Amino acid sequence: MSIFKNVENSEDEDKGMFQKLKDGLSKTKKGIFGKLNDLFTGGKELDEEFFTELEELLIQADIGVHTTMKMIEDLKVKVEKEDIEDTKEFYKVFKEELSDFLQDEKGGLTLKDGLNIIMVVGVNGSGKTTTIAKIASKLKKQGKDVMIAACDTFRAAAIDQLEVWTNQLGVRLVAQKEGSDAAAVAYDAIQSARSKEADVLIVDTAGRLHTQKNLMEELKKVKRVIYKEAAEAHKQILLVLDATNGQNAISQAKLFHEAVNIDGIALTKLDGTAKGGVVVAVKDELGIPIKLIGVGEKEDDLQVFNPEKFVDALFS
Ligand SMILES: Nc1nc2c(ncn2[C@@H]2O[C@H](COP(=O)(O)OP(=O)(O)OP(=O)(O)O)[C@@H](O)[C@H]2O)c(=O)[nH]1
Ligand SMILES: [Mg+2]
């Protein structure tokens, strides 16, 4: 599946992506989900002790206390109702439950005709710039005219990093000097995207802690400028979350959502954690759809979030 809703991948591409997803999730598979597998196949009774063990493992997997409790409750009801007697049978029900928790919205970004603007926000080092480069690379391959706005004006290195990427990808960059006003760069970029008739403008922003009030205010200002100056454009705000931050990612997301109203999440570094359960917590506790997942540092290591494929990859 392509990362864009309206573009299809070839079957071969899809196969390659699934292998990458499996490889990317190998730490999680070997870690907590491996332990889950042991629990399900160890010939245990489906008793209170089993559920306590399951509960502990799910919390360790970063699924979060709240979501874990809900899942356990649901599962107990199903066991009763469907008369499930052994852990092997239960395993199937568990996988279904996991898919159900991740269900409803399929991931991917929607592109419309005319100018699309994707504003990317998140804490320091979560993977914003890398994710932007990955998105730009995919867009470029589909023949779209892409432009990037360097609204991370805090560090000269941030602008340099984007320069390297955009040169490599052959994508236009709109940047100003270090220290300039981020909202002014956004304004410039919109004018430029319009005059060049670009299809997509991706706006990089400086990393900030969700607790830094003044910086969150700056982010709101960038958003205001984009929404005011580009009224005609199709706009979306993408929050980049680092999966290795676990439960902390959830509290970050809540505060970013309060400040700028997030449309979707890109969850990065799923290849770097043994506890991929955070995907479930994000989905259940935030009610913001996961659009994309990052499973590595390279250009191609960005995938659409597909719940069924995700669960398949974890247990295959
Ligand atoms: N393993 C892995 N590494 C990733 C992934 N996404 C990003 N990274 C790495 O994470 C580090 C930080 O990425 P950046 O894209 O610079 O993060 P940022 O959010 O732009 O950071 P600031 O600009 O400092 O706020 C880099 O070393 C990336 O290569 C991923 O999906 N998997
Ligand atoms: Mg950056």
Fold of 11-316: Rossmann fold (3.40.50)
Spell out the domain ranges in the chain: 11-316
Q: pTM for this one?
A: 0.92
Give the Å distance between the CA of 83 and the centre of ligand 2: 52
Q: Which residues contact 171 (CB under 8 A, 6 or more apart)?
A: 136, 140, 146, 147, 148, 165
Q: Which tokens hold the place of 167? A: 């040169």
C-alpha dist (Å) from residue 207 to 122, 129, 154, 237, 300: 6, 10, 9, 15, 23
293 pairs with which residues across the strands? 267, 303
CA distance 104 to 101: 9
Q: Which tokens hold the place of 140? A: 């470029």
| Element holding 36 (H helix, E strand) | helix 32-41
Interval 95-135: pLDDT, tens: 888 888 887 667 889 899 999 999 999 999 999 999 999 99
Q: Which tokens hold the place of 190? A: 């919109």
Q: Which atom of ligand 1 is nearest to the CA of 204?
A: 20
CA distance 303 to 274: 19
Amino acid at 279: V
Q: Which of 130, 159, 245, 299 to mutate to test the pocket of ligand 1 (most atoms within 8 A of CB)?
A: 130
Interval 58-102: pLDDT, tens: 999 999 899 999 999 999 999 999 999 899 899 989 988 888 888
CA distance 95 to 75: 11
